[in-house]
């Protein structure tokens, strides 16, 4: 087993650990080469990582984090208690410590928290020949270095000098002539999602990070951004089921029970609300039991149609596609889609109902309720996430609960209410 593990890339070891149930995970972890543990940790999702780190003592942690990139170290340290962070930092040499502290000073979810501080800087007034000599003197360049950054005496960011320019342009050219301004520097307090969006939009590989006075602080490379992009894209799906972004599929039973039961409890409230609405019409149902048989159809069609609209709107909001101008257009569109699909399926359901229960009025009743509920679902699917966002609540997390409440209540009220008025 130990031999098998030794042959794996740290990323593969991380993947293996994430796919193991907790007991096996704990057996496997000590078998991993201590020098590689830091690397492995940097590839593991937050939840599993925290579990593994609680098993390590401080000496292990110091050993494991020794050879990592500053952003990876900062990322790992952020999950630990302060006194351990302090000890790990104390064990580093002062240059290294200063770098890690610089990254730790920023929020984990900001450009500063994503960045690496191991940049190579050059001045404007030297030639590419001198740059080449300088690089050769440095020897090994930091991993994934594709650009050097141009700064002045006070470390103000001036421009980017790509390695592809250094090797392809004339050696007598000055840095100031060969550098580019194509990539805007990223402010350290920009959120990681905005950073990801900028990388995606402009097909960036790396970008410089600056403070508010335009001092160069570090660089972000795309391999760090890829994780943000995946997390962001998965966030909506997991939130809509009441799950966390970093949820460990192989978490211990007790932890999963605690987390998920909260979500079930929230949903139970909406289920009771729906029951209460039905309860208002219990005498109607007693007289015409077919209503009880058919009512789940009304609620379920509304729920499905609403969640289609909701999913699309939440995704478009995450991609930044929705603005004040197109909101009204979208609301009108979804209204028309809801009404059209409502009419199409109302007719189909009405026909089945008439045949099944041999009652024309029951068919007209359920058809009407379906049209009303699908329109309500479409409107709720647009307005709920927009409103939640405006008041600062994550639409992916609470949107689906609210939507189901709306479609259940409106569906049952329309169906049973009309029944009590016109049929029974």
Kindly give, in sequence order, each residue whose CB lies less than 8 Å from that of residue 176, ignoring residues fewer than 6 positions away.
124, 125, 150, 159
351 belongs to the binding site for its own copies (CB under 8 A): no
Residue 285 in contact with its own copies, rule: CB under 8 A: yes
Read out DSSP for 162-186?
A: EHHHHHHS-TTSBHHHH-B--SPPE
**Is residue 378 left, alpha or beta, with left meaning phi > 0 and alpha meaning psi from -120 to 50?**
alpha
Least Å distance, CB 123 to its own copies, is 17
User: Closer CB to its own copies, residue 329 or residue 390?
Assistant: 329
Tell me which of 80, 210, 278, 414 binds its own copies, using CB under 8 A.
278
Contact flag: residue 127 with its own copies (CB under 8 A):
no
Kindly tell me the burial class for residue 176, based on how many C-beta atoms sit within 10 Å of its own C-beta (0-12, 13-18, 19 or more).
middle
Binding mask 383-422 for its own copies (x = CB under 8 A): ---------------------x---x--------------
User: Rule CB under 8 A: is residue 84 a binding residue for its own copies?
Assistant: no
355 binds its own copies (CB under 8 A): no
Per CB under 8 A, contacts with its own copies among 130-189 are 132, 135-136, 138-141, 144-146, 163-164, 166-171
Q: Which of 265, 324, 390, 392 binds its own copies (CB under 8 A)?
A: 265
Report if residue 349 touches its own copies, rule: CB under 8 A. Answer: yes
Q: Which is nearer to its own copies, 190 or 222 (CB)?
A: 222
Of 52, 62, 115, 313, the one binding its own copies (CB under 8 A) is 313
Number of residues near its own copies (by CB under 8 A):
115
And the tokens for 217?
A: 């602080």
Apex CA 396: angle with CA 391 and CA 400, to 5°? Answer: 100
CA atoms within 13 A on the CB side of 382: 21
The contact mask relative to its own copies for 3-22 (x = CB under 8 A, - = no) is: ------x-xx--x--xxxx-
Interface segment toward its own copies; rule CB under 8 A; list 53-61, 95-103, 149-157, 261-269 = 261-269
Structure tokens at 1: 């087993």
Shortest Å, Cβ 147 to its own copies:
10
Distance (Å, whole) CA 395 – CA 311 = 10
If we measure between CA atoms, which residue out of 389, 408, 231, 396 comes closest to residue 310? 396
Residue from 27, 105, 268, 360 touching its own copies (CB under 8 A): that is: 268
Q: How far is the CB of 348 from its own copies (least distance, A)?
A: 7
Q: The tokens 């990539």 sit on which residue?
A: 183
Of 234, 361, 418, 420, the one binding its own copies by CB under 8 A: 234
Cα–Cα distance list, 230 to 96, 235, 251 (Å): 29, 8, 20
DSSP 420: I
């Amino acid at each position: 087993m130990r031999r098998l593990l030794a042959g794996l890339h740290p990323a593969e070891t991380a993947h293996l650990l994430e796919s193991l149930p907790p007991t096996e995970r704990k057996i496997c972890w000590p078998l991993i080469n201590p020098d590689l543990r830091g690397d492995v940790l940097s590839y593991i999702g937050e939840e599993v990582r925290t579990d593994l780190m609680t098993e390590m003592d401080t000496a292990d942690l110091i050993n494991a984090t020794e050879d990592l990139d500053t952003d990876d170290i900062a990322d790992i340290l952020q999950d630990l208690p302060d006194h351990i962070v302090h000890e790990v930092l104390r064990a580093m040499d002062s240059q290294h410590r200063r770098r890690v502290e610089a990254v730790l000073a920023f929020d984990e979810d900001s450009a500063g928290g994503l960045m690496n501080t191991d940049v190579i800087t050059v001045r404007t007034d030297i030639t590419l020949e001198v740059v080449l000599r300088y690089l050769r003197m440095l020897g090994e360049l930091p991993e994934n270095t594709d650009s050097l950054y141009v700064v002045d005496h006070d470390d103000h960011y001036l421009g980017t000098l790509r390695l592809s320019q250094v090797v392809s342009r004339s050696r007598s050219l000055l840095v100031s002539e060969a550098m580019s301004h194509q990539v805007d520097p990223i402010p350290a307090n920009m959120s990681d999602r905005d950073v990801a969006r900028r990388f995606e939009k402009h097909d960036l590989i790396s970008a410089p990070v600056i403070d508010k006075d335009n001092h160069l602080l570090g660089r972000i490379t795309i391999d760090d951004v890829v994780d943000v992009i995946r997390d962001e894209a998965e966030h909506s799906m997991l939130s809509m089921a009441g799950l966390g972004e970093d949820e460990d599929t192989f978490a211990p039973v007790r932890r999963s029970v605690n987390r998920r039961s909260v979500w079930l409890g929230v949903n139970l409230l909406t289920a009771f609300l729906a029951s209460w609405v039905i309860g208002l019409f219990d005498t109607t149902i007693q007289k015409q039991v077919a209503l009880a048989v058919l009512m789940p159809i009304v609620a379920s069609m509304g729920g499905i149609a609403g969640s289609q609209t909701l999913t699309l709107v939440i995704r478009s909001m995450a991609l930044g596609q929705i603005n004040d101008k197109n909101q009204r257009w979208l609301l009108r569109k979804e209204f028309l889609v809801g009404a059209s699909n409502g009419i199409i399926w109302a007719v189909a359901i009405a026909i089945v109902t008439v045949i099944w229960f041999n009652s024309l009025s029951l068919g007209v009743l359920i058809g009407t309720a379906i049209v009303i509920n699908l329109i309500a679902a479409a409107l709720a699917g647009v307005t709920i996430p927009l409103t939640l966002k405006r008041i600062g609540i994550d639409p992916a997390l609470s949107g689906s609960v609210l939507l189901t409440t709306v479609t259940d209540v409106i569906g049952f009220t329309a169906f049973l209410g009309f029944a009590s008025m016109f049929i029974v």
